Amino acid sequence: MTNATITENPLLIGKGLPPFDKIEASHIVPAITAILKQLETDLVNIEKSVTPTWEGLVEPLTVMEEKLGWSWGIVGHLMGVKNSPELREAYEKMQPEIVKFYSKLSQSKPLYEAFKGLRHSADWDKFEPAQKRIVESSLQDFELSGVGLEGETKERFNQIQLELAELSTKFSNNVLDATKAFKLKLTDKKDVEGLPASALGLMAQTANLSPSPSPTEEGNNDSSTLAGGTEGGKATPESGPWVVTLDYPSYIPFMQHATNSELREKLYKAFLSRASEGKLDNNPNIDRILELKKEKANILGFNTFAELSLARKMAPSVAAVDQLSEELRVASYDAAVKEFEELKAFAAKSDPKYADLKHWDTSYWAEKQKEAKFKFNAEELRPYFPLPRVLEGLFGLVKRIFGVTIVAADGEAPVWQEDVRFFRVDNEQGEAIANFYLDPYSRPAEKRGGAWMNDCVGRATMTVEGKTSTRLPVAYLICNQTPPVDDKPSLMTFGEVTTLFHEFGHGLQHMLTTIDYVGASGINNVEWDAVELPSQFMENWCYDRPTLFGMAKHYQTGETLPEEYYQKLLDSKNYMSGSGMLRQLHFGMVDIALHHNYQPGGELTPRDIRNKIAETSTVLKPLSEDNFLCAFGHIFAGGYAAGYYSYKWAEVLSADAFAAFEEVGLDNEEAVAEVGKKYRDTVLSLGGSLHPMEVFKQFRGREPQTEPLLKHSGLATA
């Protein structure tokens, strides 16, 4: 890699779509260094000349933040989708400098005083709601960033911010590396009994792509050393060898279908102990993160980090979060116990040796029980969900309910990997209003697991050289679904379909916003526990008849999914829903407890706290080897610290929002379009310009209720 000079560095363009075809890791350090140097000067100048007006404060500040946000946003994005040693090195070198700059910016007393002046100025009553929210949120952000701190306390606070950023990156890298390091190569056909063709195809493909063995990789016995393919030949789905990994598209089918319980146990324990030992051990990182977060909260005048976290959320207090969690736990616990007893009885009847059901057996027997109950298995549906058809169905739905058209625009923007696609979103008049990238497939060697939406460019009104125009929003949609195998397209599980719909819901809120101030457009300034509303809302449509039949077409014959399968999907929708809800509640309760009750250096470890909560929020208690927290990136390396409850909080909102469509009749096209327009004009359009409760009330005419969620989950009577 050449060390590019500043003039030809693509990370310095600062606007428009990122030139992914030109960006190299070697560009990062010179570009970010140059930008930060310029911004230091800009900050000094704005502090000297700041006036408490929109034009004299908010606008120049936005320009500064955008300059850094564009370039550093690209680097952060590549860390998630195209991770490499060179990229990591550059990121880790510049991250502390970024944190230092943001600390300086968010602790600027002249800017804070100017915002206070603006809040109490004569212009205040003339401002639009979006402008008012931006000013009020900015004031709160300054306060929560330590603007009021002095001397040693301020210095300590800034050290904490630096160390937390570093620990978060380290945590995430450890999980990626630990997931990547485990490969189990199988050579005996008995070891892959029960696995569907799709799983065998992926495992053979993985074997062909696998490098030669390294000391950290595991074989299942002496004869199964790791290598790419076989001696002098290529791995095939029929005769192997097969390599299974801890990446979801590989791990989940193995746990659900492999008849070999010992191998399931091995895989399960490897999955649960990721990043929990050796040089990738996240245990010390967890302790340190929790300790620092508590100290940070105390410095800002909060008792706990959970209280600090909720200061910027919809939920009014930790007590309110606990109350919702407990209400839903009570509604789901007995159902989950009953589901597990039924599962145990089913397994024991099928095979007496399973009378005592182990953790690694539950997915397998749940799959078997589901097949027996509903007379189909999830694999049978895969051929009906090829990605191109699913996209057609998804795009057809958003046209039907929101009136927008999605058009393929591949080739119109550089991409970071050949499978990435680019699309345009047009309004009813055929005018472009947004774009998005879609990166659908799992790439365990360089891409972190999970699925997410991120903003590439935010909507804003820009005035350049006297000409005002609207900058259109652009989103990144990232999934980790089963990649195409051989000559077949990506054949999706129904779970992967709902994940795509989920992320697209986030994308719609970013792309269909009508707010022209970047600080409140799209997902910006939306309280974290409301941000899952549009995503979870979209999942409901996967069970909607026209939507499903619009996309469920056999990839070879084009035949639509048979009606009986649709009925079975509906019947099985709430299969083990008590267990599913309890699982999410367990994660959320552990998260809040760690950030509210945990005493660093006290008698109880984070794991003890988790195990204590498990007594009333799990049916099968965690194993002694269970180190799940070491890979809980949502709360230790993502934005969900003391906020994992948001999934359930927002699910109450999303279920109630979907109920508005059900109430008018999902088959009533005209009424659905009418409610869709109202939803688009409120939830999707208003972004962070109003408090989410106000937005919800504008859409629904009242505050949200928990009843629709319990009804949708089949737990209303439980």
pLDDT digits (tens, 9 = 90+) for 143-167: 999 999 999 999 999 999 999 999 9
Same domain membership, residue 449 and residue 356: no
Give the span between the Cα atoms of 548 and 397, in whole angstroms.
Answer: 10
Q: What is the CATH number of the domain that holds 406?
A: 1.10.1370.40
Domain count, the chain: 4
Residue 8 has a pLDDT of: 87
DSSP secondary structure code for residue 236 in this structure: B
Residue 222 has a pLDDT of: 32
Q: Decide: 196 and 379 in contact? Cβ < 8 Å.
A: yes
Residue 99, pLDDT above cutoff 90? yes
Percentage of the chain beyond pLDDT 90 is 91
Residue 463 has a pLDDT of: 76
- Tell me, yes or no, whether 701 lies in a domain: no
- Which of 541, 456, 411, 542 minimizes the C-alpha distance to 17? 456
Same domain membership, residue 392 and residue 326: no
Q: What is the CATH number of the domain that holds 594?
A: 1.10.1370.10
Same domain membership, residue 567 and residue 442: yes
Q: Which amino acid is at 589?
A: M
Q: Decide: 557 and 564 in contact? Cβ < 8 Å.
A: no
Question: In whole angstroms, how large is the CA radius of gyration of the chain?
Answer: 26
Helices within 283-440 (DSSP H only) = 283-299, 305-310, 318-350, 359-374, 378-381, 387-402
**How confident is the model over 266-290, as a mean pLDDT?**
97
Non-local (6+) Cβ contacts of 688 within 8 A are 130, 133, 137, 515, 519, 520, 521, 522, 523, 524, 525, 526
Q: Decide: 498 and 539 in contact? Cβ < 8 Å.
A: yes
Same domain membership, residue 218 and residue 231: yes
pLDDT (tens digit, 9 = 90+) per residue, 307-365?
999 999 999 999 999 999 999 999 999 999 999 999 999 999 999 999 999 999 999 99
Q: Can you name the residues that pair with 236 across neighbouring β-strands?
A: 240
Q: Can you name the residues that pair with 407 across neighbouring β-strands?
A: 424
Neighbouring CB atoms inside 10 A of 497's CB total: 23
**How confident is the model over 45-73, as a mean pLDDT?**
95
- Which of 477, 479, 388 minimizes the C-alpha distance to 435? 477
Distances from the Cα of 255 to the Cα of 244, 249, 251, 361, angstroms: 11, 11, 6, 8
ω into 388 cis (within 30 of 0):
no
Query: Domain boundary residue among 613, 644, 675?
Result: 644
Q: Does residue 341 sit in helix, strand or coil?
A: helix
- Tell me, yes or no, whether 674 lies in a domain: no
Same domain membership, residue 139 and residue 11: yes
Q: Average model confidence (pLDDT) for the chain? A: 93
Same domain membership, residue 452 and residue 478: yes
- Tell me, yes or no, whether 466 lies in a domain: yes
Same domain membership, residue 339 and residue 266: no
Residue 220, pLDDT above cutoff 70? no
Give the span between the Cα atoms of 567 and 147, in whole angstroms.
Answer: 58
Distances from the Cα of 358 to the Cα of 191, 263, 577, 621, 622, angstroms: 19, 13, 20, 10, 11
Non-local (6+) Cβ contacts of 638 within 8 A are none
CA angle 195, 201, 206 (to 5 degrees): 110
Among the residue ranges 196-200, 223-227, 505-509, 652-656, the one predicted with the least confidence is 223-227
**DSSP symbols for 207-234:** HHH--S--TT-EESSTT----SSBTTB-
Residue 228 has a pLDDT of: 41
Verify whether residue 670 is a known catalytic residue: no
Model's pTM, two decimal places? 0.91
Q: What is the CATH number of the domain that holds 125?
A: 1.20.1050.40
Q: Decide: 6 and 36 in contact? Cβ < 8 Å.
A: no
- Tell me, yes or no, whether 539 lies in a domain: yes
Q: How far is CA 320 from the centre of its chain?
A: 24
- Tell me, yes or no, whether 715 lies in a domain: no
Same domain membership, residue 269 and residue 203: yes
- Tell me, yes or no, whether 650 lies in a domain: no
Same domain membership, residue 510 and residue 436: yes
Give the span between the Cα atoms of 578 and 401, in whole angstroms.
Answer: 30
Helices within 432-514 (DSSP H only) = 494-511
Residue 227 has a pLDDT of: 38
Burial of 474 (0-12, 13-18, 19+ CB in 10 A): buried
- Tell me, yes or no, whether 65 lies in a domain: yes
Residue 210 has a pLDDT of: 77
Q: Can you name the residues that pair with 690 across neighbouring β-strands?
A: none
- Tell me, yes or no, whether 711 lies in a domain: no
Residue 1 has a pLDDT of: 38
Q: Decide: 304 and 600 in contact? Cβ < 8 Å.
A: no
Q: How far is CA 21 from the centre of its chain?
A: 26
Catalytic residue (choose from 339, 379, 503, 539): 503
Query: Domain boundary residue among 256, 274, 292?
Result: 274
Q: Decide: 421 and 462 in contact? Cβ < 8 Å.
A: no
Helices within 375-493 (DSSP H only) = 378-381, 387-402
Give the span between the Cα atoms of 474 and 435, in whole angstroms.
Answer: 5
Same domain membership, residue 422 and residue 553: yes
Q: How far is CA 494 from the centre of its chain?
A: 18
Q: How far is CA 202 from the centre of its chain?
A: 24
**How confident is the model over 625-647, as a mean pLDDT?**
96
pLDDT (tens digit, 9 = 90+) per residue, 453-497?
999 999 999 877 788 899 999 999 999 999 998 889 999 999 999
Query: Domain boundary residue among 622, 644, 666?
Result: 644
**pLDDT confidence band for 6 (50 / 70 / 90):** low
Same domain membership, residue 528 and residue 427: yes
Residue 5 has a pLDDT of: 53
Task: Return the structure tokens found at 217.
Answer: 């990789």
DSSP secondary structure code for residue 240 in this structure: B
Residue 464 has a pLDDT of: 72
- Which of 276, 285, 287 minimizes the C-alpha distance to 604? 287
Q: Decide: 513 and 130 in contact? Cβ < 8 Å.
A: no
**How confident is the model over 533-549, as a mean pLDDT?**
96
Q: Decide: 651 and 536 in contact? Cβ < 8 Å.
A: yes
Task: Return the structure tokens found at 539.
Answer: 């999942």
- Which of 262, 220, 263 minimizes the C-alpha distance to 241? 220
Residue carrying structure tokens 């000559």: 487
Residue 4 has a pLDDT of: 46
Same domain membership, residue 432 and residue 312: no
Residue 7 has a pLDDT of: 63
Residue 218 has a pLDDT of: 42
Percentage of the chain beyond pLDDT 70 is 96
Residue 198, pLDDT above cutoff 80? yes
Q: How far is CA 488 from the centre of its chain?
A: 27
Residue 96 domain boundaries: 6-148
